[in-house]
Amino acid sequence: MLPLRPVHGQWRRPDLRNHRKIMVIDGEVAFTGSQNLIEPSYNNPRHRKVGREWVELMACLRGPIVTTLNVVFATDWLSETDESLEEQLAHRPELHAGNITAQVVPSGPGFITENNLRLFNTLIYSAQHKISICSPYFVPDDSLLYAVTTAAQRGVDVELFVSEKGDQFLVHHAQQSYYEALLEAGVRIYLYKAPFVLHAKHFTIDNEVAVLGSSNMDMRSFSLNLEVSVMLLGEDIVRRISTVEDTYRGISRELTLEDWMKRPMGVKYVDNVARLTATLQ
């Protein structure tokens, strides 16, 4: 995806990548979410030795939403191969709508509106009671940080699930540089216990809206990566994802502001230095 091949006239920016995860079968069933097509330890003997596995969340979708995901896939395929899948898309199996309203939200460098960031901010500002966020790489821009901390300060219960130990050194420390501001605002942070890496990407708003997909809550995902998110409406689907979040909470330990302020000076220094690289990661 997005190769840099000057010999073939493909001069592409090396910092761009297609981060979407989509699988469509016969135009009838689709999968999307956080999972890459690789075994849980990423085929790394060092990870297997310490029991490190990536924890994911995927959605299996049926109904008209499958066609939309298929179009996103076909668009990616055309951009990479110059081959149109229009003939395949013309085959429309009979897809019966279910009882959950869903909308696909693609985003990436081709969308100047930063669709995922605008969706996230709009929903967070709309929250009245509770926000639950799961993001393996939470390195927000100012607008998202303000949205999350403002929600907590106006009395919304906000919780954030992240990994106790990240798999990417600089990103993890950049993420940690935001913990103090989040905790001071009243956000509850749950650290999913190592050696597991919580790689799932989703959030819920009140009992009304859930968003699940490939997008992290970081600046790379908002402006550089091609991402795909699915917004799902309804109390039933929010309850099902909240059940997953309950399992995270049971496995995690809560980070308090008091404990966080006691961390070693060396860690604080590395966090602050890593934050300077946040827009590059």
Whether 130 is a known active-site residue: answer no
Query: Per-residue DSSP letters for 247-261?
Result: HHHHHEEEEPHHHHT
Whether 26 is a known active-site residue: answer yes
Which residue is catalytic, options 47, 199, 202, 271?
199
CA distances from 205 to 67, 194, 202 (A): 26, 27, 10
Which residue is catalytic, options 141, 167, 206, 268?
206
Which residue is catalytic, options 21, 47, 173, 202?
21
Whether 157 is a known active-site residue: answer no
Whether 96 is a known active-site residue: answer no
Which residue is catalytic, options 76, 201, 202, 271?
201
Which residue is catalytic, options 26, 236, 246, 259?
26
176 CA to centre of own chain: 17
Catalytic residues: 19, 21, 26, 199, 201, 206
